Homo-oligomer: A and B are copies of this chain.
């Protein structure tokens, strides 16, 4: 059975990363050269996206893109919106690009956005032979297509989700310090938090497990390491839920 791509529907992935200082997003270079002269016409940045296959679920398509990108398959993913503005692909550069990649530039494409949280900074990133790199979210300027709009929506959705549930751990290695966790919140929300109050607040949660292990290789008092327990989180969430009904 042949899988055919659906020419009207795509999925775009906004991949966030964190280096204990700033929030980053993965972007791909889009280079276009004049087919005759070979001269570079433009060189800008896009999100990673692709059409979905017919008979493929939207979430599966997003997983597929992330797998192509990282080789990993257990990455946190969350849908945050659908984008269907008829002019979303109409900028001249975008029209050139679509034509060059054998797609009908007049074709309407509705795209569904997923954001994903990547904690593995060491993974090798490659996508369709194009350059992929991390960019600080705060410094991202205009992007190809409507991808800046999509990125902004992803960031809003990330903030909102982070207030509701402890998904921030997906941006950290499995063992992390409380300061690293605090810096994550500070980076995502663009605020400063009080260390003692932050620790008091998270001390109330049961799913943050202190380990008998400390940081190594730091030139100062090493901090204790913690891990996030998804099982405890799911359980305490249910307990709270039961109680609230």
Contacts and interface: CB of A to CB of B under 8 A. Distances in A.
A: contact size bracket: 20 to 34
A220 to B, nearest CB: 32
A86 B57 CA distance: 6
B85 A57 contact: yes
A79 B9 CA distance: 17
Contacts of A164: 160
Given A52-B84, A79-B82, A58 B110 contact: yes
A8 interface: yes
A111 B86 CA distance: 16
Dominant secondary structure at the A interface: mixed
Contacts of A55: 86, 108
A68 to B, nearest CB: 19
Contact of A82 (B82, B85, B108): B82
Contacts of A57: 84-86
B112 A82 contact: yes
A21 interface: no
A52 B160 CA distance: 29
Interface in A26-75: 52, 54-59
Interface of A: 6, 8-9, 52, 54-59, 79, 81-86, 108, 110, 112, 160, 164
